[in-house]
Amino acid sequence: MNVSAEQSGEAIQFDERGLVPCVMQDWRTGEVLTLAYMNEEALRRTRETGEVHFFSRSRGEIWHKGSSSGNLQRVRQIRYDCDGDAVVALVEPAGPACHTGQRSCFYRDLDGGADPAPEAPPLEGEPSPAAFEALSVLDRTLLDRQRRKPAGSYTVELLDDPSRIGDKVREEAEEAARAASSESEARLIDEAADLLYHLQVLLISRGVRLTAVLETLNGRRD
């Protein structure tokens, strides 16, 4: 990463304790992974190494995120807010971000039924995915199906028959186009969902991650 101590010192407004809150967010999916704090040295080390460093308020020392677990967080971009008193680190996680082993520290719904005690486990089915998480959750589910190959899985059947996947993508694209021209909005939504599912299966069958497609779209913005 390009490092300019002078620039970061001017841009970031550390509080009276010399800290700034940092939200760590998945570069690929947009999911929020954790919230912690940086001091000036932690921010500098993060920018120099390209891996997230925090300042532990309880231990009073710099903390290289994932150094003991191996779940390092590779920084793709650091953003700061309008006031310069909060930052977002967009990262590529090597593993779970939470010390409990959960992908994100934010794994419980305040209105849900999970145990509210610190570090308590999640409750299955909670929290329900937000709309922006749908494709990333689907991506991880499909990869899990590919790895475990559970009996009776439609996804596994498709992955075991590559030519069928292409046929299904063509079929679903045609049905989505037909729904757009002459059927209800609800029907179009259903067909579009089917198309997105089969397209993601097709990508995974070729070892292509959805992130690569989205980054290509970003590259075409101009």
Note whether residue 176 is domain-resident: yes
Domain count across the chain: 2
Note whether residue 121 is domain-resident: no
In three-state form (DSSP H/G/I as H, E/B as E, the rest C), the secondary structure along 9-30 is: HHHCCCCCCCCEEEEEEECCCC
Note whether residue 99 is domain-resident: no
Note whether residue 201 is domain-resident: yes
Note whether residue 108 is domain-resident: no
Contact 59, 39 (CB under 8 A): no
Q: What is the pLDDT of residues 14-26, one digit of tens each?
A: 999 999 999 999 9
Q: What is the pLDDT of residues 116-163, one digit of tens each?
A: 999 999 999 999 999 999 999 999 999 999 999 999 999 999 999 999
Note whether residue 179 is domain-resident: yes
Note whether residue 161 is domain-resident: yes
Predicted confidence band of residue 10 (pLDDT cuts 50, 70, 90): confident
Q: What is the pTM of this model?
A: 0.85
Give the pair of three-digit tokens for residue 175.
């049905």
Last residue of a domain, one of 37, 67, 93: 93
Question: Which CATH number do you get for residue 210?
Answer: 1.10.287.1080
pLDDT computed for residue 3 by the predictor:
42
Range of the domain at 12: 5-93
Cβ density class 112-134: b for 16+ within 10 Å, e for less: eebeeeeeeeeeeeebeeeeeee
Tell me what percent of the residues of the chain surpass a pLDDT of 90.
94
